[in-house]
Amino acid sequence: MDLSGRAALVTGGASGIGAAAVERLVAAGASVAVVDRDADAADTVAQRHGGLAIPGDVTDPATLPAAVAATEERFGRLDVVLLNAGVTAGQSGIEDLDVDGYRRIVGVNLDHVVFGLTAAVPALRRAGGGHVIATASLAGIVAMPGDALYTATKHAVVGYVRSAAPTLAGEGIRVNAVCPGFADTPLIAGVKGQFAEFPLLTADEVAAAIEGILDRAEPGECWYVQPGRAPAAYGFRGVPGPRDAGRPPEVSWRDH
């Protein structure tokens, strides 16, 4: 992958998958803006790679338009956007709902993807095309009963990506999602002990999948990433269409 002369923006870029992706983007020749709530950590990563640190809360609708503008001002263009920031809910979302916690996870995991895409599109058009990748999760394509709120936000990201992609593909702007399984990142630091016998992805394995998406994914594809497997596009099943007009419906369990 050759990104020489290109510029990228990574949210949640100061640690975990985001930091690993920054490293790969820089190795491919890109200049990178690192967006993160942790200003010191963002500055550390940016300085290490000669990039731009942009501190900010991605749930604020003003943060990503400002970050896009700062990236264009510093590097003269924007070609790749990785909307990677994410949090877990810390609650089931089924009973005793903490509304503030609910608003927080929706803000980080979903709103920021919407804010980020809409902020990036004009810049990508100015660059003649580009690529937006949202970090979703396997919880975006299958149910994860232990965290219903997290699952809800990641399903929403997958649906948004798949719906937005055809709208932008004709302009040379590809939109995709990466859907990793459990990864050894700060996101699971508080519960890592529960995974003692469970294989975890490394942050770099997910970053390698992101590199693969940049290199060869078709618009709207959502790539799964699992330990020991080659990352690939998930094959979504279609849904049954309407029956022919004038014919009585023949309902069976297969229709549900």
Q: Cα separation of 12 and 187, whole Å?
A: 11
Q: Cα separation of 224 and 139, whole Å?
A: 10
Q: Cα separation of 253 and 256, whole Å?
A: 6
Q: Is 150 a catalytic residue?
A: yes
Which of these is catalytic: 150, 160, 224, 234? 150
Residue type, 82: L
Provide the strand spans (E) within the chain.
Answer: 7-11, 31-36, 52-55, 80-83, 130-135, 173-180, 222-225, 232-233
**Host H or E run for residue 212:** helix 203-216
Spatial strand order of the sheet with 52-55 comes to: 52-55, 31-36, 7-11, 80-83, 130-135, 173-180, 222-225, 232-233
Positions annotated as catalytic residues are 150
